[in-house]
Amino acid sequence: MNLSIAIPDSSLQDESTLLYKTKKVSIIARACAIFKTEQIIIYKDKSVNKNDSMLLSTLLKYLETPPYFRRQLFPKSKFLSYSGVLQPLNIPNHLAPSSLKLIKNGDQRDGLIINYKGKKFVDIGIKKPVPYFGKMKPGTRIAVKIIETKPKFTIKEISREDVKDYWGYKVKERGNLFSILSSWTGKIILTSKKGKIFTASDTGKFIKSNDPILFVFGTTNKGIHEILGTDIKKIQNSKIINFFPNQATQTVRLEEAILGILSIINSYNYNKL
């Protein structure tokens, strides 16, 4: 199932310190990785703090980047002050072995094109850059397949769609929520305690379709109805669903909502396989 989520760029406004904001992003990223989320779309909210918006985007991208070339893409900044508390995603392209002895023909890896002495190479985390003869520019991430390890180490660039394992999420920063939903070509699930109570039959309808599904979240302080206003009635191919009926807490935090809802959908999908 092709899952994406949309969250506001004000998602961190209810946290008081940089440390707490960093921890919240870590939980969101982990939840998305656990359930193989394809995209995290960050939409603009009028009340956003620009630093919070940049922090959210930076940390999500940082966490999704394989550790072996993070330093080349993310220079030191205040946004990474508490990067040490970020929990690793440990997804397949982050766990690639660095020892040449453990690499096999046919393995697929994430790579970063680099410039070294005027020539292009690919850093694939083996402590030795591999010559690159493609058209992409230095600083570009690519997926590669190991063709041979001996006598000469050779690779082939492949498309992300050809990768057999989950290869992480893409972070996309977009405009206001209504414009995003108006252009979405798949199904849309607006999450809200004011929506219809979730049933198993709802999930069955999602899974039967091959269309991408976008789960839309508000924040702890502002729900989907408050963010969209009267435009919520204009959104096509959408449902408003309450995944937490009879909740005892006054609100459900964003990171809790993402983890809980994706868990519900994943469980039903797995049982149908």
**Token reading at 126:** 């083996």
Give the pLDDT confidence score for residue 116 in this predicted structure.
Answer: 87
- Asked if residues 59 and 86 have their Cβ atoms less than 8 Å apart, the reply is yes
pTM: 0.93
- Give 211's contacts (C-beta < 8 A, 6+ positions apart): 2, 185, 186, 187
Give the pLDDT confidence score for residue 247 in this predicted structure.
Answer: 92
- Give 202's contacts (C-beta < 8 A, 6+ positions apart): 196, 239, 241
Better-predicted residue by pLDDT, 199 or 206: 199
- pLDDT tens digits along 1-38: 899 999 999 999 999 999 999 999 999 999 999 999 99
How many CB atoms sit inside 10 A of residue 242's CB? 15
Give the pLDDT confidence score for residue 151 in this predicted structure.
Answer: 85
- pLDDT tens digits along 159-194: 988 998 999 999 999 999 999 999 999 999 999 999
- Work out the mean pLDDT of the chain and round it to a whole number: 91
End-to-end CA distance of the chain: 11
The backbone region for 90, taken as left when phi is positive above 0, alpha when psi lies in -120 to 50, beta otherwise, is left
- The share of the chain scoring above pLDDT 70, in percent, equals 96
Domain chopping of the chain, boundaries: 3-90+168-272, 93-162
CATH level 3 topology of 93-162:
OB fold (Dihydrolipoamide Acetyltransferase, E2P) (2.40.50)
Average pLDDT over every residue of 92-101: 87
- The share of the chain scoring above pLDDT 90, in percent, equals 74
CATH level 3 topology of 3-90+168-272:
Alpha/beta knot (3.40.1280)
